[in-house]
Structure 1
Amino acid sequence: MKKIRNNLVGVDQGSHVLFEDYDVGGEMWTGSGNREVWHPVRFAQPFKTPPAVHVSVTMWDMSTEANQRADIRAANIRSDGFELVFTTWEDTKIARVRADWMAIGELPYEDDWDLY
């Protein structure tokens, strides 16, 4: 459990289209090549410590000719941002994906001192 030590709690959120491979014959649509997308996200302002980050798929356009396989996660969560990671595998064909995210965490307080 993440504990927040002061009353300055920040919530930041966003939405990103991670790829649109259908029109360009990209790897996610053809089913070969790199099947993972990393998208850097920067927060509007840094948190005091790395926040809790929630990610979700909010739009997907997939072929129905194969099983629909997907994984989405937040990686390398830092005070100033993180990487949004979407992965698929085997013969799944994905035309496009949009992901939303929300970060909740402690903000810096004006009385915080950095002594060393």
Structure 2
Amino acid sequence: MKRLNSHQIGIDEGFVSLFDHWAQTTVMWDGAGERTVRATVSFDEPFAEPPTVSLSIAVLDADNESYLRLNLRTEDVTTTDFTIAADTWEDTRIARLGMRWTAIGVLVDTDELWDV
């Protein structure tokens, strides 16, 4: 469990389209074997320390001729941004993948910014 020692807790959220085969050809649809796609997401304002980020699938369009294999994770979470990574492998073909994300963490204490 992560304990937040602040009364200034921030929540940021958003949507990111990782890829869309119909807009452009991607390795997630046309490739085979191990494949990874990454997208960097910036927060609306910086956190005081790296927040906890959770992901959920909002859009998934996959071929039904093979098993759906998908691994989703966050990487390199900092106070200003993070990276979403999506892996697939074998013969899985994914045409579109969109993610919703939520970040919860301690905000920068604006009272500390004042130097009187």
Q: TM-score, normalised by structure 1?
A: 0.89
CA distance in 2, matches of 1:15, 1:46: 18
Q: Which residue of 1 aligns with 2:90?
A: 90
Structure 1 position 23, deviation (Å): 5.5
Q: Which residue of 2 aligns with 1:103?
A: 103
Q: Which residue of 1 aligns with 2:65?
A: 65
Q: Deviations over 1:9-40 (max 9, x none)?
A: 10000101110124544211113377211100
**Secondary structure of 1:72 counterpart:** strand
Structure 1 position 108, deviation (Å): 1.2
Gaps of 5+ in 1: none
Contact 1:15 1:100 in 2 (8 A): yes
| Greater Cα shift, 84-93 or 16-25 | 16-25
The number of residue pairs the alignment matches comes to 113
Contact 1:57 1:72 in 2 (8 A): no
Q: Which residue of 1 aligns with 2:3?
A: 3
CA distance in 1, matches of 2:25, 2:82: 28
Identity %: 35
- The question of 1:75 aligning with 2:75 is answered yes
State the 4+ residue runs in structure 1 displaced beyond 6 angstroms.
none
Return the letter of the residue paired with 2:85. Answer: V
Q: Which residue of 2 aligns with 1:42?
A: 42
Q: Deviations over 1:77-101 (max 9, x none)?
A: 1111100111111000000000010
CA distance in 1, matches of 2:25, 2:45: 37
**Secondary structure of 1:10 counterpart:** strand
Gaps of 5+ in 2: none
